[in-house]
Amino acid sequence: MTQINTERITYDIGIGGMTCASCVARVEKALKKIPGVETATVNLATESARIEVVSLDTTDARLRRAIREAGYEPRTPEDAEAAANNTSPWAGFAPVALGLLLSAPLILPMLGDLWGQHWMLPSWVQFALATPVQFILGARFYRAGWLALKAFTGNMDLLVSLGTTAGWLLSVWLWLTAHEGHTPHLYFEGSAVVITLVLLGKWLEARAKRQTTEAIRALHALRPDKAHWVSEDGEVDVPVDEILTGDRIVVRPGERFPLDGELLEGQTQVDESMLTGEPLPVNKTAGASLTGGSINGDGRVLMRVTAVGHETVLSHIIRLVEDAQAAKAPIQRLVDKVAEIFVPVVLLVALLTLAVWLFMGENFETALIHAVAVLVIACPCALGLATPVAIMAGTGVAAKHGILIKDAQALEIAHRVQTVAFDKTGTLTVGQPRLTHQVAAPGQDANAALGWAASVQSGSEHPLARAVVTAAKAQNLTLTNPAKLNAVPGRGVQASVDGRQLLVGSLPWLQQEGMDPGLWEADVQKLQAQGATLSALAERTDEGVQGLLLMAFGDEPKEGAAHALTVLRSRGLKLVMISGDNQAAAEAMARRLGLRPEDGEVMANVLPDDKAAQVQKLRKGGRIVAMVGDGVNDAPALAAADVGMAMGNGTDVAMHAAGITLMRGDVALVGAALDISARTVAKIRQNLFWAFAYNVAGIPLAALGYLNPVIAGGAMALSSVSVMANALLLKRWKP
SS3 198: helix
**Closest C-alpha among 14, 368, 381, 18 to residue 174:** 368
- Gap between the Cα atoms of 724 and 399, Å rounded: 20
- Residue of 157, 336, 407, 423 with catalytic role: 423
DSSP-assigned letters across all residues of 461-513? --HHHHHHHHHHHHTTPPP---EEEEEETTTEEEEEETTEEEEEE-HHHHHHH
**Burial grade of 232 (CB within 10 A; 0-12, 13-18, 19 or more):** exposed
State how beta strands 226-231 and 403-405 pair: unpaired
**Closest C-alpha among 320, 333, 340 to residue 380:** 340
423 is catalytic: yes
**Burial grade of 608 (CB within 10 A; 0-12, 13-18, 19 or more):** middle
SS3 114: helix
How far CA 445 is from CA of 438, 479, 522, in Å, comes to 11, 16, 20
Task: Report the alpha-carbon angle 254-258-263, nearest 5.
Answer: 80
Q: Hey, CA dihedral for 8, 10, 11, 17, is it positive or negative?
A: positive
How far CA 493 is from CA of 457, 506, 535, 537, 580, in Å, comes to 8, 10, 11, 10, 16
C-beta separation of 401 from 277 below 8 A: yes
- Gap between the Cα atoms of 433 and 423, Å rounded: 15
- Gap between the Cα atoms of 497 and 503, Å rounded: 10
Catalytic positions, please?
A: 423
